[in-house]
Amino acid sequence: MIKKIWYWFVEIIKETLNLSWTLVGLVIATLTLTGSAQQITGLATLITLGIWLLTIGFRNSKPKEEKNKGVSR
């Protein structure tokens, strides 16, 4: 159980680092806006990041390898 949680945590860090430039751009956009636009952009950024991290399993699932049926190459 702890191993699965650790693996999931490591995957979260990897995914966040892969999105780092996108997140930097969204944070800059949030900081440069004012009023309700700033709030909406910040909230949308957090919700999108949350959904992205929660769906790691769907994106990283590897297809099952098909067994070769006696075909040699």
Place of tokens 């999105």: 19
Instruction: Give domain status of residue 51, yes or no.
Output: yes
Containing 63, the helix (H) or strand (E) segment is none
Instruction: Give domain status of residue 53, yes or no.
Output: yes
pLDDT 10s digits, 31-42: 999 999 999 999
Instruction: Give domain status of residue 36, yes or no.
Output: yes
The whole-chain average pLDDT of the chain stands at: 82
Instruction: Give domain status of residue 72, yes or no.
Output: no
- The answer to whether the predicted template modeling score (pTM) of the entire model surpasses 0.95 is no
Instruction: Give domain status of residue 28, yes or no.
Output: yes
Instruction: Give domain status of residue 4, yes or no.
Output: no
Contacting residues for 23 by C-beta, under 8 A, at least 6 apart: 16, 45, 49
Q: Which domain covers residue 35, as residue numbers?
A: 21-57
Instruction: Give domain status of residue 71, yes or no.
Output: no
* Integer angstrom CA distances of residue 73 from 53, 60, 64, 70: 40, 29, 20, 10
Instruction: Give domain status of residue 45, yes or no.
Output: yes
pLDDT 10s digits, 17-28: 888 888 899 889
Number of domains in the chain: 1
Q: How far apart are the first and last CA of the chain?
A: 41
